[in-house]
Every structure is written in structure tokens, then in C-alpha cells.
Structure 1
Amino acid sequence: MAPTPEGSEDTLFPDFPRGPLQAYRARASFNWKELALFLEGEDILRLKKTIFSTLENDPLFAHPRGHDLSLEQYRELTFRRHKRLFEHNFLHPSDLQQNPLKSLVLVNCLGMYDWSLASKVILSTSVFLSAIYNSGFERLFEYIPKVFSMEISGCLALTELSHGSDTKAIRTTAHYDPATEEFILHSPDFEAAKFWVGNMGKTATHAVVFAQLYTPGGQCHGLFPFVVQIRDPKTLLPVPGVMVGDMGRKIGLNGLDNGFAMFHKVRIPRQNLLNQTGDVTPEGTYVTHFKVKCLQDDRQRFGASLGSLSASRVCIVGMCVTNLKLAVCIALRFSATRRQFGPAEGEEIPVLEYQLQQWRLLPYLAAAYALDHFSKSLFLDLMQLQQGLRGDDRSSRQVELGREIHALASAGKPLASWTAQRGIQECREACGGHGYLAMNRLGDLRNENDPNCTYEGDNNVLLQQTSNYLLGLLERGGPGGTRCESPLKSVNFLEAYPAILRQRFEVASLQDCLDSAVPLAAYEWLVCYLLRESQQKLNQERKSGSSDFAARSRAQAYCCRPLALVFLELTVVRRFHEYTHQPGVPPPLQALLRRLSALYGLWSLSQHTALLYRGGYCSGERAGKLMESAVLELCAQLKDDAVALVDVIAPPDFILDSPIGRADGELYRNLWAAVLQGSGALERASWWPEFASKPVVGSLRSQL
């Protein structure tokens, strides 16, 4: 990391107000500002500060968010805020060329404020425009400046009412008419209506619509994306042939208008086909860069046509990590200031001093750091893949890179969303009754994280993509056969597949167990074990007469599903281990970061203790007790650093928007003030005459 200019720390890091949290900050073993600079760099920190201060100083972004607004008001306010963001112009194209992570940082900063707003930005710019830009068709590039000038608004329509995860079964059709050089887009019935499309409910004027492409003669060439106008930008009324509407209130994210659409023989120009993977000539002949002589080549083309979904899943990983960060910031600041019980005749102590509270929360703090590093590194991997696609790279390495990122993103989204889901709930409960107050935001975080578990692919279905990738290595002559390598080296350890299966847990002492190399070795064994178990289960099912489809279905619950999860956990543990043990880590931060790495690895591994014993990696009481003791010891070592670690990842109070999580630690003062300032807190109920009116006593008495 380059040295920072003198005095820059003061502008990047204003001092926290003194208060109840000061005691923990004073006991920290490291300088939180130094850690923030090491993890983010000055450039990213300045961008974050610009975004946060701009939102706080613009009256349009003043709280409250959605709780005191009707659905229509919240949708309008979100749209107006979305429009204002284009005026603030946080990023220039040159910024992204210098540091691609800035786009991810912008999205996550907006998400810390309000995920409805962030989602609207993502869908109208990143998702819609990326689909057009990656097609390489310059005629459609005219849409790009129109989106940024708000002349039009975009969305991406893949899911239908009756099909989501099974994308190959999508039923919307696009028949090519060579007489007019147009595609005729059509929804055969209401079950084929596009559904759950973000931005489509009220505001989208254009959509990237996925449909089955047919050429003259009735031949279907599979699923392709088309740019389709759905509303008039001047009136927001539907264009002829399109029925489009809003789905209504959801559990969360209600500032985002999710909608549906049906198409009745809507004609669009031939050039509106996004032709990255295939095209149709003016005469109606289908052409493609990919061979379609066999099923495998057809799958390759199909996978490439859905490549944009990997980008969405990588983005969702970052969204989930952001939600987890916010939750642990609130819960740990609360735990450091909430005093309950204590030694006999002594003062009450902060609940963070209790081992149980540390065990509940500190592993999720470690998970936030580990998954954040994984999210950023996977995003940079994706940028490498997309750069190759734009450069028309069709090398074998590029193909393998695409497969590997697809496998990592397909398991990364489930791991990140489920970890955030469990973590937010634990944080909510760890804050007791105060965590249940909506104003403290944990309920919103839980609800707004929840769709991450299902959209852009249901988590359990997505995990099959990752296990299929790993099993494919065996079928292609991987472990025990030919060389097993990947561009990102996530599967290279499988070169030693037979030798790894012979390894056993042989840690001698508790001190030796406090190293992330211990869970790293155990995870490698666990992946190899589950890979072998999954392959044996598939072979057993096939030998018993099951079809390949049935065999794979019956191998999921206890074999392929855990295989995919532990492989991704291994990847996160490995990347964070390598990051925290690199030579460039400043000496004052080494011990701290390595404790976080070890805690995340051991805590994650502890969820698979039964498998470690069942497969013979562990035996006897000592191994299990040693890992449990190591988790507790690491929690104890990190307890005094917890508040400072939160300070590194926490946004300003305005963005965090939680009275019990404010940086000054004045828990009760902040909560009391927020309650008194609440809408109608001290007002008499508007329906008070109902209380004063007499009930019909006779009928009630007869019931009693």
C-alpha cells in the first residue's frame, strides 16, 4: 500500500465522539484507521466519504425511508432519489478504468442507505446496459446515454410466472419474419408472462427480454435476449401489444417496483437481438460462433447467453456481505454498551463480556471480513472474464475461466445470502427486545436480504451448478487421472486428491489450532471426501437403473449440496488465509487479521463436525473439543478489538440509521430520543372515541 499524504487521515477519519464505547476503543490492539487504509486504500475511502456525505447533505435523502410512506409514495421517492444520483455523478468512466472495484463500492454504499434505491440503480444501469454493451452491437449503444440522461429506463426480463430456475423452459417466443426483417415477440398464455421483473412495475420503458428464438421453418435455437420497448417514455403508457403492470407490496424492498408483462405479437427490428452468442441473417438463417452438432456445444452456447447472470450473482454476494456488516455493526456496538447482570455485589457488565455473546456474534464479524475479501476478489475475476469477452477471446483458458467463475458465483450467492440471513437473525436476537424495534433497522435488513436467497437462481438449485462443475472434473479425467487445474486455481488442490483423502486431523495443541492453516487442510479433505461420496452415490443410483436426471436428483441432499457449499467455504477460507498471510500486511495488523482468518475458518468448519467424524478425518473426543476451544479462545482474543473492527466497516450514523448502533455508544439516550420523535408517539389515538363508547355488554355476558 502506498503511503498516505500527510494530514489525509484527518479528512478521511474524523474522530468518534467520546462516550460509552471509548473504553473498548482504548483497549483495541490495533489502529483502526491503519486497518481501513490497508483494506480499502485511500482512493476507495474518499469515494465512500463522498457518497455518504452527499446523501446526508441532500434534503431529498433525509430519513425516514419506507415505514411512514404509502407504497406509491415510497416508489415515487425512490425514483426521485434515483434521478438525483445521476446529477451527483459519483463515478466517471476513467475512475472505473483505474479501479473497477469502484462500481461495486458505489452499489454497496447505496445499499447501506437503502437497497430499494441501490437495486433500482443496478437494474437500470448495470444489468440493462451491460446486456447491451456486452452484445457488441453498436447500433444499440444509443440506449446508453439515454439511460444516464433518464430519457429511458431499463430492466431485464427472464423469469416467467411458471418458470424461474428452469430457464431452458422459458416459453416466451420470438419468431423471425424475413419479409419485414423483424422478430415477433409473443407470450402464448398468462403462465408465460414475465414476472418479478425489477423496475418493470411502474418505470421501465425498455426491457431486455429473454425468449425462445425461432427461424422460418419452425426451428428453435434456444433462449436469446432481445431489446424491447414496453412503454412510451413521454407518457409511461404501454406500447401497443404490451400489457405491463405492478406486482404490489412485497415483504421488503418496496421502493423497487417489481412488475409483469405479456406480449401479443409485438414486432421488433432484427437488430434488437443481442447477438453475442448467435445471430439471424436478414434472410432468416441462424448463425453462431459455437458449434451445435452435439449437446455439449449447445450447452456452451446456452451458458454464454446467460453469462450476465454470473455478474448478477457476484453482485449479490457483495450485497449480502453489506447486509451482514450493517447487522454486526449494530449488534456489537449495542453489546458493548448494554449492561446486564454481573458478579455478586458488583456492577453490571456489558453483555459483550459474556462468552456466549462473543460466541454468537464475533464469528459473524469474522465472516463479514472474510466474505468481503472474497466478494471483491471474485468481482475482479469477473472483470477479467468480461474483458476477455469484449476482446472476443475464445481461448480454452477463457472458456475454463467462465466455467470456474460460474461455479464460484453459483455457490457464492447461497453461502453469502444464507450466512447473512443467519447472521442478521442472530444479531436481532442478540439485541433483545430493542432489536425488534423497526427503527433499529435489523428487521429491514432481514427482509431486504431475504430475496437474495431466491432471485437470480434459488440457492439450492444453484448449488447443483457448482457440484456439477466439480463432478465434471472427475468425468473429464480430473482427480486421480489427468491434470486438474483452473485459471483461478480454486480446484488445483485436487491434483493431490488420493493423498488428501489419507490425511487425518493431527493438531497437537490449542495454540497450534489457532491458525487458519488448520481449517484450510480440513476443508481440502472434506471437499475430496464429499466429491468421492457424491460420485459413488451417482454411480450407485445409475447401476440401480435410475436415469441420469433421477440419479442426480437423489444425490443432492447429503452429497452434492454439501459438496458445493464446503467447496465454496474452502475457497473463501483459502483466499482470506492467503490475503492475511501475505508479506504486504503491516506488522501491527498481522496478528489481528490472522485471528479473524482462523476464527472464520474454524467456525465454518465446526458446522461440518459430523462429516469430519463420519469420514474418519477426526476421531475421539480430543479433536472436536480442540476445535471448539479454539473458536472460544479466538473470540476471547478478539473481544477487545470488536468495537474497533466495527469502526473500520461501519458507515456514518446517518447511513447506518440505527439508534442502538450509533458511533457515540449513547445507547439509551439515542433510543429514547428516537422513540419520542416517532410519528404520533405522544398523540392520542385517532380512534379514541371507540375506546370511550360502551360495548354491548349483554351479548358479551351471554358468551361468557
Structure 2
Amino acid sequence: AKRPHGESMTLLTITQTPPTHATPATHHRPDGPNGPTGPAGPLPAPAEHSPTVTDLVRLLFEGDDHDRVHAPWRELITDESFRHKEGLSPAEQAALSYERLRAVNRRLERAEDLARDPRLLAALHEWAAIVHGGGGLCTLASIHYNLFLGSLLDHQDGPPRDLTEFTTLARTGTFLCTELAHGNDAAALQTTAEYDPTTGGFTLHTPHTGAQKFMPNTSPTGGPKSAVVAARLLVDGEDQGVFLFLTPLSDAHGTLPGIRVRRLPYRAGAPVDHCLTAFDHVPLPRSALLEAGHGRLTHDGTFTSSLGNRRKRFLQSIARVTTGKLCMSGAAVGATRAALTIAVRYAHHRHISGPRAGEQVPLHAHRTHHSRLLHALATAYAMTFLHRTVTARWADHTPDERPDIERLVAITKGWITWQARTLTTEARERCGAHALFSVNGLADFPQYTEGTITAEGDNLVIWAKAASEMLFGHNTTPPPHTTPPAQQDLTDTAFLRELLNHAQTIWQTRARTALRNGPSGDPLARWNNASTPALRMIETHARLQAADAFIQATQHTTNPTAHTLLTQLCRLFLLDQLNDYTGDLLATNHLTTTHVLNLPHTTNETLHTLTPHTTTLTNAFHLPTPYLAAIPLTTPDHLEQFDHLIPHNNENIENTHTH
């Protein structure tokens, strides 16, 4: 098989076999009359398209909706401006992130459509996250299109606002909610917007140090900016809860009067201009308040709301964080797939000494190496299918379904981003010291996924909230076994899924018992008593949701080989998940001693079956050839590529003495 070049941006331009062509590559290879050319002339055409990979791509990337949802962003990152740039300062990296945001905006017919479409918005994050410095673009895009523009669109109460300066990026939008002293308890934030009956407007103010807005991108970098600021609405001295206020922050000459912006220290993983921002009695017009049913002011200053609870008003004001959670999950999924693709390709290209004298074998030949990648691939497929399922449910939900879907989005975000941190670190480690250099595409992924774990709600906090809601509000009781466990086989995916469901019930029962046995009259102590098993229940629930999404996708394969591969990979995923529950399942008679003893063997046999197909499985991640070609580790001539990157004027730099 030859290394593919010149891939177009269509669904079917995929190759199944690993690249083995050893022609030295360059970063700026011009196209000849017969296609891409190398130093020795025209390169071989891409290998025959694989029906197996094509079917896997269809399942992983939205099927018939691929061209609308994924193709624009996949094509965008092939542009030279998205390649690795060595030696940029933090300020230059932040400026580059804004340039890339404008590149995104130029591809849009209507920026409002991106803000309104969770599938399209999450897909942007999947692809943007994988390029060097892509964490900065993801951060800016999530803030501008989702939190800022989306909030304005969701609060269209009264005459429509003119959004042209925001949709054209004449002004970049940002979102100011978190405060220095209020992160996950943002409902208790203390920035105030006091209604002024004489002007009909508001006075925006930061009352003390802890109320400064923490981490928004509010510096002059990127041009003039406006924000939606979360502030406590005060009417006649009465606190009506937290609402959003549209606030200009800067113009072409800098920060506006009454607004203080100070840059925070450099943050690795997402190069943007994080700042502390404060307001000193800044006057705002009446139109600054983002109104809707959860809160309005009449012309005479009377406050009305369909919600009597201030906390509910706050949650309604910042409802866009749910779509933000999907975006963070999408970025984590994209980074994971890219990291594993790089690691698998390197495992085939990197050769080491074999067991016989003079023999060379690829890293991939060792079970100690490829098994870790296969376990990671099984999880990455589950992450992708879960994200597709949950995004579709959020995009199509009815008002009655909203609370349950919001909770599922939060649980999914926690599970996916935690998996991404583990798997991107694994991929980095499997490529050794070479992967510590950003040019090889892996070093930045673990740092960026740390941000997704915290953004839009810390994972542990949103899981604790979900656990408290599901402790008694969710029925996990599975139906009784239709076949006795002793007659079930560990190769049966349906049986493995049933076991995972039983594990969920076990941990819910434990959490309920712990809550009831907690000290009466002390709600915090009772919750502390139940929180550990309750969080384990949520973790198991997340695993089960991922397994269900995986099983559902497997049932929609049209290619027999793809179906076999997905079935085996799904089995591996389920076997991995069940490792943590074997004692519980054995004690409750859902597993037998024979099952427990055979679990390592079944896992090893599944790994053996999947080992020849790691490249097929990663080719289905659909990464464009120009992206991969710019990463030395992905090519057979990775040593020459890496050497070529080092400037010649650095050669023998240590040899400065005259002999």
C-alpha cells in the first residue's frame, strides 16, 4: 500500500491500509499536472477506497449529514494557516487564535445559524481542537458563537437587536459570568446591575475584589469587544436574581471608561487573552438587559417573572452552558481521535530491535504496546457514539424532556473529558520523547483537555448535582435474567451490557442506603455519607450510556467487515468497563466464578482479533491528509521529517571552540 496524498474533502476519500511509502516528504509540496509531487516526481495515487472504512466513517460522522456538519470544518483545518507555528510568544498565540476565529466566520453564510445549531457548533470544536493551538480557537468560538451570540438570540424579547457587528466580527463577543470568588457557585456572584428609575437604565458595578470577572477574554487583543455580563439585578434595592447585560468593553482606542481589564498569567493549552475584569459604576442603557419570560422590566420599572425562584432565573439566564458542555465534549472527542491516530501510525513506523540478532520489528508488534492503543480505541469509539447520541437528543428535545437531557449532557461531558485526559496522555506516552515536542501533534492535547474538564462546570460538581437528582429520581432496576448467568458467555455483547446495568443498580442501592443511614438533621453530613457511592452510580450510568450508543451504532453497519470490527471493539469496551465490578457482580450472583476467571482470556482473545485492524479503525477517524502530513510522527520518514524541521544554522551549535 502506498501513502495517500492529494485527498479531497469528500466522505469517500479514505484509505484503509497504513502508509508505508518511504519517499521523503516536504511540508510545501506543489501539485504537479498529475497530482501531488515529491522530490522524485509524481507520487502514487491513493490506495483503493475501503468499503469498511467508508462505512465506519458514515457511522462516526453523522451519515447523510456529514457534508453539512463536518465537511466545512474538516476542510478548514487543511489550510496552511492552521499548521504548527514554532516559537510564538503567548501574545502571538492569542492573536493567532483570533485570526483563526475570523477564518471560521468567513466560512459562514449566517453566524446566527451556527449559534442555533448544536450539531454544527459541536463539530466545529471537534475539528478545531486537533490543530496546534486549536484550544485557543475552541475557547474563542465557544464564547463568541455559543455563550455570547447564542445568549443574545435566546433573549429576543421585544424589538430585535441589530447583531451585524457581532456576526461580522466587527466586535468580538465574550461572556462574563465566573468571578474570582465564585466559580461553581456562580449563582451567588456579586457583580450588581442596579436599575436607575431616572434614566431607565442600569449601573454595572464590581463591589469588591472577589467580584471581579475571572478568565474572560477581554483584552484589546482581537479588536473591539462587547460582553454579556452576568450581574445581580437590583430594583428598588431588591435582589431579583442574576441576569445578563449586554455591555461594550472596548473600541479601536482601547478599554472604555469605568472598565478595568488586567491580563492573567499565561495558561498552557488554550492560548487566549484571559483577564480579570471589573466595573466601576458603568452606566448601561435600558436595552442592555437580556429579557425573556424568566424576567422583564415594564416601562415603569416593575419587575415580572414566570419563575419565583432566583436560582431558576439564574439557570435560565445562563442556559447556553448546556450547549457549551456539548462543545467541550466534542473538542475532547476530537483531540482523543487525533492523538490515537498519530500514536497508531507511529507504532507502525517506528522500528526497534527484534528478538533475533539483526531483526527490526515495529512497536506495534508488541502486545504491551498495541493493547493499550486498542483499549483506548474502544473507548474513543464509545466516546464518539455517545457524543453523537446525546447531541442529537439535545438538538431535538422537547421542553418536557429538557431537565433529563440537560443532566445527560452534563454526565456525558464529565465522562468524555475525563476519558480524553487519560487517552491523550496514553497516546503521548506511547510515542516517547518525540511526542513531547508540539510539532508532533501530541504534547498539547492533555493540557487542552484539562481545560475542557473545568469549562462549563467542573466535572465533579456537575456529577454531584446529577447524582443528587438521580439518587431517587431515576429507576435503574434491570429486568430479571432471561437466561441463567451460568449459561451466558462473555463474548455476548447483550449479556455484558446487562451486567453493566446490574452494576449501576448495585451502586444506586448502596447510595440510597448510605443516605438513609446518614445522621438525621444534618443534610450535608447525610449527603457526604452517600456521595461516594452516588458518584460511582453516575460513573456507571455514563459507561452504560456509552455502551448503549456503541451497540446502537453497531446495529446500523452496512458492511460485514465493519460490523464484525465494531462488534469486537464494543465487546472490548464492555469487558474493560466490567473489570471494576466483577466482585460486586459475583457477590450478587450476576457473574459466576468461571466468568471471572475467563475474563482476562476473553479480553486477550478480543485484542488478538483486533490487532491487525488498528490502522483501519484510526483511518475511520477521517483526519485529512494535509493535517497528518504536517505531523512528522505520522509518516514513515518521520526521522528525516523531524531533522528537516531543525534550522540548519543551529547545526553544531555547541561546537564553537577553535581546535
TM range (shorter): 0.7 to 0.9
Percent of pairs identical after alignment? 22
What does residue 459 of structure 1 align with? 459
User: Which has the higher mean CA deviation after the structures are superposed, 323-332 or 43-52?
Assistant: 43-52
Q: Give the AA of the match of 2:274.
A: N
Find 2:507's aligned residue among 505, 513, 530.
530
The alignment status of 1:597 with 2:613, answered yes or no, reads no
SS at match of 2:161: helix
For the Cα contact (< 8 Å) 2:200–2:285, is it kept in 1? yes
Q: What is the rounded CA distance, in whole Å, between the counterparts of 1:91 and 1:129 in structure 2?
A: 12
What does residue 335 of structure 1 align with? 347
Q: What is the rounded CA distance, in whole Å, between the counterparts of 2:344 and 2:110 in structure 1?
A: 33
The alignment status of 1:243 with 2:243, answered yes or no, reads no
What does residue 506 of structure 1 align with? 485
For the Cα contact (< 8 Å) 2:146–2:323, is it kept in 1? no
What does residue 279 of structure 2 align with? 263
Q: What is the rounded CA distance, in whole Å, between the counterparts of 1:451 and 1:670 in structure 2?
A: 30
Change (3 A) 1:288 1:140: same
The alignment status of 1:149 with 2:168, answered yes or no, reads yes
Q: CA deviation at 1:467?
A: 0.5
What does residue 66 of structure 2 align with? 44
Find 1:289's aligned residue among 294, 306, 328.
306
Change (3 A) 1:313 1:176: same
The alignment status of 1:180 with 2:196, answered yes or no, reads no
Find 2:139's aligned residue among 111, 115, 119.
119
Find 2:527's aligned residue among 552, 563, 566.
552
The alignment status of 1:541 with 2:518, answered yes or no, reads yes
Q: What is the rounded CA distance, in whole Å, between the counterparts of 1:338 and 1:199 in structure 2?
A: 45
Find 1:34's aligned residue among 32, 55, 78.
55
The alignment status of 1:75 with 2:89, answered yes or no, reads no
The alignment status of 1:649 with 2:621, answered yes or no, reads yes
Change (3 A) 1:135 1:354: same
Q: What is the rounded CA distance, in whole Å, between the counterparts of 1:601 and 1:617 in structure 2?
A: 15
1:69-468 mapped onto 2 (5 Å cutoff)? 69-89=88-108, 101-113=119-131, 114-137=134-157, 139=159, 141-143=161-163, 145-198=164-217, 202-203=221-222, 205-216=225-236, 218-232=237-251, 234-235=252-253, 237-254=254-271, 256-276=272-292, 277-290=294-307, 292=308, 299-344=311-356, 347-385=359-397, 398-399=399-400, 401-468=401-468
Change (3 A) 1:454 1:281: same
SS at match of 1:210: strand
Change (3 A) 1:199 1:177: closer
SS at match of 2:146: helix
What does residue 485 of structure 1 align with? none
Q: CA deviation at 1:378?
A: 1.3
What does residue 597 of structure 2 align with? 625
For the Cα contact (< 8 Å) 1:124–1:199, is it kept in 2? no
For the Cα contact (< 8 Å) 1:200–1:245, is it kept in 2? yes
For the Cα contact (< 8 Å) 1:211–1:226, is it kept in 2? yes
Q: CA deviation at 1:328?
A: 0.6
Q: What is the rounded CA distance, in whole Å, between the counterparts of 1:525 and 1:18 in structure 2?
A: 40
Q: What is the rounded CA distance, in whole Å, between the counterparts of 1:206 and 1:421 in structure 2?
A: 33
The answer for unaligned runs of 5 or more in structure 1 is 1-6, 389-397, 480-493, 693-704
1:337-395 per-position Cα deviation (integer Å, ceiling 9, x unaligned): 2233434458333222322223211121122112112112211222224xx5xxxxxxx
For the Cα contact (< 8 Å) 1:154–1:205, is it kept in 2? yes
Q: What is the rounded CA distance, in whole Å, between the counterparts of 1:122 and 1:553 in structure 2?
A: 34
1:56-104 per-position Cα deviation (integer Å, ceiling 9, x unaligned): 44x5x06333x4111222222222232233334377878999x863333
What does residue 563 of structure 1 align with? 537
What does residue 672 of structure 1 align with? 640
For the Cα contact (< 8 Å) 1:124–1:153, is it kept in 2? yes
SS at match of 2:269: coil
SS at match of 2:396: helix
Change (3 A) 1:425 1:28: farther
More helix by percentage: 1
Q: CA deviation at 1:206?
A: 0.9
What does residue 26 of structure 2 align with? none
Q: What is the rounded CA distance, in whole Å, between the counterparts of 1:366 and 1:661 in structure 2?
A: 22
Q: CA deviation at 1:552?
A: 1.5
Q: Give the AA of the match of 1:202.
A: T
Q: What is the rounded CA distance, in whole Å, between the counterparts of 2:587 and 2:425 in structure 1?
A: 30
User: Which has the higher mean CA deviation after the structures are superposed, 132-141 or 371-380?
Assistant: 132-141
Q: What is the rounded CA distance, in whole Å, between the counterparts of 1:282 and 1:678 in structure 2?
A: 67
SS at match of 2:376: helix
SS at match of 2:610: helix
What does residue 575 of structure 1 align with? 549
Q: What is the rounded CA distance, in whole Å, between the counterparts of 1:36 and 1:56 in structure 2?
A: 18
Root mean square deviation of aligned Cα: 3.3
Change (3 A) 1:472 1:193: farther
Change (3 A) 1:682 1:331: same
1:686-697 mapped onto 2 (5 Å cutoff)? none
1:187-215 per-position Cα deviation (integer Å, ceiling 9, x unaligned): 11111100011455734611111112221
Q: Give the AA of the match of 2:151.
A: A
The answer for unaligned runs of 5 or more in structure 2 is 1-6, 23-45
Change (3 A) 1:349 1:112: same
Q: What is the rounded CA distance, in whole Å, between the counterparts of 1:9 and 1:278 in structure 2?
A: 46
Q: Give the AA of the match of 2:618.
A: V
Q: CA deviation at 1:334?
A: 1.2
Q: CA deviation at 1:286?
A: 1.9
For the Cα contact (< 8 Å) 1:374–1:572, is it kept in 2? yes
For the Cα contact (< 8 Å) 1:172–1:186, is it kept in 2? yes
SS at match of 1:136: coil
SS at match of 2:283: strand
- The number of aligned residues is 624
* TM-score, normalising length: structure 1: 0.81
User: Which has the higher mean CA deviation after the structures are superposed, 411-420 or 304-313?
Assistant: 304-313
Q: What is the rounded CA distance, in whole Å, between the counterparts of 2:318 and 2:94 in structure 1?
A: 29
User: Which has the higher mean CA deviation after the structures are superposed, 458-467 or 622-631?
Assistant: 622-631
1:24-68 per-position Cα deviation (integer Å, ceiling 9, x unaligned): x999996312332354336525875554445444x5x06333x41
Change (3 A) 1:452 1:107: closer
Q: CA deviation at 1:519?
A: 2.8
Q: Give the AA of the match of 1:414.
A: G
Change (3 A) 1:257 1:613: farther
Q: CA deviation at 1:615?
A: 5.7
Change (3 A) 1:540 1:14: closer
Q: What is the rounded CA distance, in whole Å, between the counterparts of 1:679 and 1:225 in structure 2?
A: 51
User: Which has the higher mean CA deviation after the structures are superposed, 350-359 or 298-307?
Assistant: 298-307
SS at match of 2:169: coil
Q: What is the rounded CA distance, in whole Å, between the counterparts of 1:96 and 1:175 in structure 2?
A: 30
